[in-house]
Chain A
Amino acid sequence: MEEAELVEYFRAQIREDPDVASAVAAIRSLLKFLKRDQSETILGLRENMTKAIHRLEETDSSVAVSSGGELFLRFISLTSLEHPDLSQCKNVMIERGELFLKKISLSRGKVGKLCHTFIKDGAKILTHSSSRVVLKVLENAAADNKRFTVYVTESQPDSAGKLMAQKLCNLNIPVTVVLDAAVGYIMEKVDLVIVGAEGVVESGGVINKIGTYQMAVCSKAHNKPFYVVAESFKFVRLYPLNQQDVPDRFKYKADILKTVKDLNQEHPMIDYTPPSLITLLFTDLGVLTPSAVSDELIKLYL
């Protein structure tokens, strides 16, 4: 399968189902790539897969695609591939790939089920930008007949917050859009903050849309709980020490990385929130404290 075909398939997946997580779409494309792959040896297969993952990362420079891809690769190759016949090995890998895909497609539902119990009746929730996982959580809470109001930040430069507000309106949840600069102003009114994540790093911190770090600092200053909801395939083996330490390939969009010379003039799209500001993380592996994330990562990756 050609790389262009792969990218096209990936883009098609996202177009057809806008609700799907980009990592899930990436993994579906990788599975298709695996099925059509023509290599003669396992090593060749792995190399092709790695190249495919890199290609997808270039298309959509989100952390989730990178982490999802790596976890996929580990999951399928962590079995004992001792069959002498390559096609048998490939079948085993494809089987495990399907299993992995099925598991992660259900992860959003699991997170939603876990988190909505933390939303009490009459709660005022603040969230940032547009996250499908947070939407799922709020959907579950609303279905549970809880009454709550939501404040969403506008989240420039792409105004994703307005999209989120629209979706929430469709669910009949009272929602207000606030300016990014109004986070400090609104913090005293809200009871809790829930945000999604693009990536969860080894220290237990999260990488998310720019503005999340500010929100976390404000919520810490006001002593409001700061919750992060993320599926487990977003766990990534990075360990940033501060904002500068996050690799450039995640901070800026893929096309900008390729065309622009001086990145200092560009606005980064994500920031890093350190674990000291996060109260709890809701994942399909359970409700974790930031220090437990490292434990889970060791289990996932080792």
Chain B
Amino acid sequence: MADSDGRQVVSINHSTEEDVKLQEVVQAKCEGKELTKEEKQRLRKEKKQHKKNKKDDRGPPEKEKEKEKASVLAPSKPATQSPAHKAAPVPVNASASESPVAAEKPAKSKAEQRAERRARQDTERASKQGKKEGGQQSASSKPKATPNELQPVKRLPEHIQVDDPAALKKLAKKLERQQVPLRSDYGYKVSLFSHLHQYSRKNPPTQQISIPATVIHPSIVRLGLQYSQGIIAGSNARSVALLHAFKQVIQDYSTPPNEELSRDLVNKLSPYISFLSQCRPLSASMGNAIKYIKKEISNIPSQCKEEEAKRRLQECIDSYINEKIILASEAISKYAIEKISDGDVILVYGCSSLVNHILCEAFEKQRKFRVIVVDSRPRLEGREALRRLVKKGIRCTYVLISALSYILPEVSKVFLGAHALLANGYVMSRVGTSQIALVAKAYNVPVLVCCETYKFCERVQTDSFESNELDDPDDLIVTRNGKTHLENWQTVKSLGLLNLVYDVTPPDFVDLVITDLGMIPCTSVPVVLRVKNVDQ
């Protein structure tokens, strides 16, 4: 306990411009209790004023609107307004002017700044009294107005900005506020991927938190550990585990007095999500699931009683799992079986739960085919797929990916799973998939990708560098004939080990995508996204 205190206090002292009040916050954290409402309020106000100071160069209109919002909102409950409030300044502030503003800040002293700010606020509040009616509209139109007035502010997600110290600092502050431990990177990173996190499995994220006194729910802690150690792997498995953990969280949740379930529960989930993304970066499917849950929670009417609300949420989660994952895989099998004819030789890569399910179903429906399982190091997931298929009685062949062009002339179809389908039609899947699709195209073998619609995401990516995941580099160390190669790779300065997890396949290499909505060409993914948005 004392050890973790020291570490936390030390980390606070390292950051430059922290307010005195944060010391109190640290004390509260050390006691392992959640920050009281007053402390949270104070923290928020300090942050607000920090941000207003930074926005000096941005011009009056945004500031006026914000202060107007502050004045409109100040009398009402700060707890309920804070999420909306935090959302408004954050997109405006996003990445941009930190370096120029940070330069001028040390010039003035803290007290002077605060006094100036207060004076400015008072004068503007006085002038805003007349424009009070505009206040309500501007509060809602602010998110729309800001992008128009400012140059478009690009907000990159934190997990691909690891080489930017400012972004790292922001992350550290955010994690502290949420009382989530920050996981440090491990080992030398190859320069092309230095913008991504690289963690080691030997340093689990739970080292720094004390389990009984932590803010994070125990089932979430367990889930995080299962992710980081690789016990739960695979897009569907991770999403289902996440949803089950959230069900447990909702079960154990009790609304604090003077709070609304619909707003407070969403706030409670944020530190959990931060913790999980520290354990292992979130997948697209998990992201969509979280969005769905948050929407459902905020749609709970305020007059709903707690038990009723909790029951409703549990039902929503169950129906989501049932519809989007289980029933979807049934529908996809139905379409996919039409594409499997007798005498086919089907190539699969790695272990995709969906593809395995399709093959087992087809075998049960008396289709005659054989399977070639392609596998690659270091994960060797193909062995698991091989196990499942052989247990069913399907004739299988097992090769490593280096033998791909040798085996392809025998193959009649390639079935691939997907981690996510991007909005420009690119398929994000386990590393090695794009290689298989490329070679299959060269041999004119049709490539079919099977993917449920809940894995479709609005992101666009054309290469595997921009957003990826780096796994533990020590996985590449192998012991053969008693010799462990690469054991001391850290001592060799010019050596870097790269263990990529995902890659993207362009739509030209994919002939068909089988989804629960039917068979679509790879270029029609945005159509499906549009149809889904209309439905919701």
User: Measuring CB to CB, which residues of chain A are less than 8 angstroms from any residue of chain B?
Assistant: 202-204, 237, 239, 241-242, 245, 275-276, 291, 294-295, 298, 302
Contact = CB atoms under 8 A, between A and B. Distances in A.
Nearest to A204: B521
A246 to B, nearest CB: 12
A239 B524 contact: no
Interface in B132-174: none
Nearest to A275: B521
Given A275-B521, A291-B521, A203 B512 contact: yes
Interface residues of B, number: 17
Interface of B: 339, 413, 444, 446, 448, 508, 511-512, 518-521, 523-524, 527-528, 531
A291 B523 contact: yes
Contacts of A291: 521, 523-524
Nearest to A289: B523
Contacts of B519: 202, 239
B512 A295 contact: no
B511 A241 contact: yes
B345 to A, nearest CB: 13
Given A202-B521, A295-B524, 18 more contacts: A203-B511, A203-B512, A203-B521, A204-B521, A239-B512, A239-B519, A241-B339, A241-B413, A241-B448, A241-B511, A242-B444, A245-B339, A291-B521, A294-B520, A294-B527, A298-B524, A298-B531, A302-B531
B512 A241 contact: yes
A242 B527 CA distance: 24
Nearest to A202: B519
Contact of B524 (A237, A241, A294): A294
Contacts of A204: 521
A203 B507 CA distance: 12
Closest 7 interchain pairs by CB? Answer: A291-B523, A241-B446, A294-B524, A239-B519, A295-B527, A203-B521, A294-B521
Contacts of A202: 518-521
Contacts of B520: 202, 294, 298
A187 B519 CA distance: 35
Nearest to B511: A241
A203 B521 CA distance: 6
Contacts of B511: 203, 241
A237 B517 CA distance: 13
15 contacts: A203-B512, A203-B521, A241-B339, A241-B413, A241-B446, A242-B444, A245-B339, A291-B524, A294-B520, A294-B523, A294-B524, A294-B527, A295-B527, A298-B528, A302-B531
A239 B519 CA distance: 7
Contacts of B531: 298, 302
Contacts of B527: 294-295, 298
Nearest to B523: A291
A104 B520 CA distance: 26
A164 to B, nearest CB: 32
Nearest to A291: B523
Nearest to B444: A242
A147 B512 CA distance: 42
A95 B520 CA distance: 33
Nearest to B528: A298
B521 A242 contact: no
Contacts of A241: 339, 413, 446, 448, 511-512
Nearest to B520: A294
A4 B1 CA distance: 89
A291 B527 CA distance: 11
Contacts of A298: 520, 524, 527-528, 531
A203 B512 CA distance: 8
Contacts of A295: 524, 527
A241 B338 CA distance: 12
Nearest to B526: A295
A148 B444 CA distance: 37
Nearest to A203: B521
Nearest to B339: A241
A214 B392 CA distance: 43
A202 B521 CA distance: 8
Contacts of A203: 511-512, 521
A213 to B, nearest CB: 13
A51 to B, nearest CB: 22
Nearest to B531: A298
Contacts of A275: 521
